[in-house]
Amino acid sequence: MTGTVIRPATPADVPAIGGVALATGQDEEWSGSDPAYVQWLLACGRLLVAARDGAVAGFGATRQIGTGPAAVSMLCDLFVHPDAHGLGIGQAVLAELWRDPPRRMTFSSLHAHAVPLYTRFGVDAWWPLLYLAGPVAALRVPSGWSVSASGPAEVAAAELGWTGVDRAADHRAWAARPHGFPASVLRDRALVAAGTVAGHGDEFGIVHLALAPELAGDGARDAVLTLLASLDAPDGRAMVFLPAPHPAVRPLLEAGWRVTDHDLYMASEPDLLDARRAVPCPSAA
């Protein structure tokens, strides 16, 4: 670590952060190579860079979800340029990011060093987060369910009422992404789920979906299927990120959807997310 400084990122670091992201294969929209995503981290999270000999060699970011004792520190990103691997940079950045928060979670990649590193910081692996993709035409809206267009403020207000967590800034940022729009999911004309859909090309799909407290089991399943079946997908295909135990996984696979990738949900406590209800954003939960 000699010659390495861990410091808060600034807007001037955005291009260098993008360079590290590209060097580590993060070339997707809404990743470290996307300036809009990095600007969101600067505005809504805590973004640190590791500067080695004056150049950015790595970066990491957290987003606090909630407030007070129940707040959770979500690790959004932790990447080190391949030329700087083995120098302890990732561990040093994470030690600064997770110096204080006791309630922690992340979606870990399958990189050989990721799980051991995160485990040393007090989180354990609990279940896979599946990246599911497929044709929306293969799905049907269940009887009595429907979707209506909404706005970021309305979606955020619904989530705040159901969970006590203010995600207004996140929904505004998600809605500003390519093809982004907030949506309300209704059962018998009553609002029971609200979220945002966005993404470019094969990344288009549900970014984040919050459910009313009474919605579980078949209701949680049908909320996901309703929103996916209602999408006007740019190429007829969409994606969603679901915990492996989520009740919507099986009908999606039966409809011909496929698991294209997966991460590992790691957390200081297993129930920071409910695996049978959560429809999280991998970079922000």
Q: Do 15 and 9 contact (CB within 8 A), yes or no?
A: no
Answer whether residue 266 is part of any domain: yes
pTM for this predicted structure: 0.94
Pick from 86, 102, 118: which residue ends a domain? 102
Mean per-residue pLDDT, 103-114: 92
> pLDDT-based confidence at 86, cuts 50/70/90?
confident
CB count, 10 Å around CB of 74? 26
> pLDDT-based confidence at 156, cuts 50/70/90?
very high
> pLDDT-based confidence at 191, cuts 50/70/90?
very high
Are residues 16 and 98 both part of a single domain? Answer: yes
Domain hosting 239: range is: 131-272
DSSP string computed for 74-117 = EEEEEEE-GGGTTSSHHHHHHHHHTSS-SSEEEEE-S-TTHHHH
**Alpha carbon separation from 83 to 24, 189, 285 (Å, rounded):** 10, 55, 30
Q: Which phi and psi (to 5°) does residue 137 adopt?
A: -65, -20
Answer whether residue 178 is part of any domain: yes
Q: What single DSSP character describes residue 177?
A: S
Instruction: Decide if pLDDT at 234 tops 90.
Output: no
Are residues 136 and 268 both part of a single domain? Answer: yes
Mean per-residue pLDDT, 19-37: 94
Answer whether residue 120 is part of any domain: no
Q: Do 11 and 27 contact (CB within 8 A), yes or no?
A: no
Per-residue pLDDT reduced to its tens digit, 265-277:
999 999 999 999 9
> pLDDT-based confidence at 171, cuts 50/70/90?
very high
First-last CA distance in the chain: 31
Are residues 148 and 255 both part of a single domain? Answer: yes
pLDDT of res. 143: 95
Summary mean pLDDT of the chain? 95
pLDDT of res. 212: 97
Answer whether residue 166 is part of any domain: yes
Pick from 57, 82, 102: which residue ends a domain? 102
Answer whether residue 155 is part of any domain: yes
pLDDT of res. 2: 62
- Distance, CA of 150 to CA of 279 (rounded, Å): 18
Are residues 48 and 144 both part of a single domain? Answer: no
**Alpha carbon separation from 92 to 70, 207, 223 (Å, rounded):** 26, 30, 41
Are residues 72 and 175 both part of a single domain? Answer: no
Are residues 24 and 147 both part of a single domain? Answer: no
Answer whether residue 235 is part of any domain: yes
Q: Which phi and psi (to 5°) does residue 119 adopt?
A: -60, -35
Answer whether residue 233 is part of any domain: yes
Question: Domain with 219 in it: what CATH number?
Answer: 3.40.630
Instruction: Decide if pLDDT at 1 tops 60.
Output: no
> pLDDT-based confidence at 46, cuts 50/70/90?
very high
Answer whether residue 27 is part of any domain: yes
- Domain tally for the chain? 2
Question: Domain with 91 in it: what CATH number?
Answer: 3.40.630.30
Mean per-residue pLDDT, 34-46: 96
